[in-house]
A and B are shown apart, each in its own frame.
Chain A
Amino acid sequence: QSVLTQPPSASGTPGQRVTISCSGSSSNIGSDFVNWYQHLPGTAPKLLIYGNNQRPSGVPDRFSGSKSGTSASLAISGLQSEDEADYYCAAWDDGLNGVVFGGGTKLTVL
């Protein structure tokens, strides 16, 4: 059971906007930044969003992140077939004194 809670799956059609939620607590999301990672099985996970809503260089602005209280969201607009992947949220946890992840959300582009 992951410390951060994500829906196991999400889907959308090309061009649509999809959001993936991530729920935590006051010891993690409520007090620290949320980061998002994109993972295609068999490849290296990729940093997508850091600091709640910052995009690393090279990440399209179709990807955006937000946080409110103890929850965070990843939004993907203009959905493309290459966005089909697993998405993980992560945050520092003050109680654990370490990093916690969500269970991951498998995004399917229909």
Chain B
Amino acid sequence: QVQLQESGPGLVKPSETLSLTCTVSGGSISPYYWTWIRQSPGKGLEWIGYIYYSGSTNYNPSLKSRVTISVDTSKNQFSLKLSSVTAADTAVYYCARVRNYYDSSDYYFYFDYWGQGTLVTVSS
């Protein structure tokens, strides 16, 4: 059974960089895509971006200028960096595995395993 665990500081100061790591166990990080999603207090889920095990990325345009997602296959981990954070970035951050494939002409794209999430508060 694949398991994901987020880790990183729970408190970040405004204007600084939020850094989180997701450790994958029970399976290999290749050949999958991996993603970050967040949920601000009282709000719905927001997709942040994803990375392929080889390193190619795709980010939510609303966060693209501040987001970097990277992967370390040797450690079976991938990471999120979000720069210049403000209180609006306070959220529970989730990591998840992406399943994407073609079946005939149909393209499937969904998140099949998720971490428990970690709360990051932006405050001075």
Chain A residues with CB under 8 Å of chain B are 2, 32-33, 35, 37, 42-47, 50-51, 56, 88, 90, 92, 96-104
Contact = CB atoms under 8 A, between A and B. Distances in A.
Contact of A101 (B46, B61, B112): B46
B111 interface: yes
Nearest to B94: A45
B114 A45 contact: yes
Nearest to B49: A98
On chain B, which size bracket covers the interface?
Answer: 20 to 34
Contacts of A44: 4, 94, 114-117
A98 B114 contact: no
Given A44-B94, A44-B117, A46-B114, A98 B60 contact: yes
Contacts of B111: 35, 37, 45, 47, 90
B71 to A, nearest CB: 18
Which of A51, A90, A92, A99 lies at the interface centre, i.e. has the most chain B CB atoms within 10 A of its CB? A99
Contacts of B58: 97-98
Interface stretch (B23-31, B78-86, B102-110): B102-110
Given A44-B94, A90-B45, A104-B44, A99 B114 contact: no
Given A37-B111, A51-B108, A96-B60, A88 B116 contact: no
B44 A88 contact: yes
B36 to A, nearest CB: 11
Contacts of A56: 112
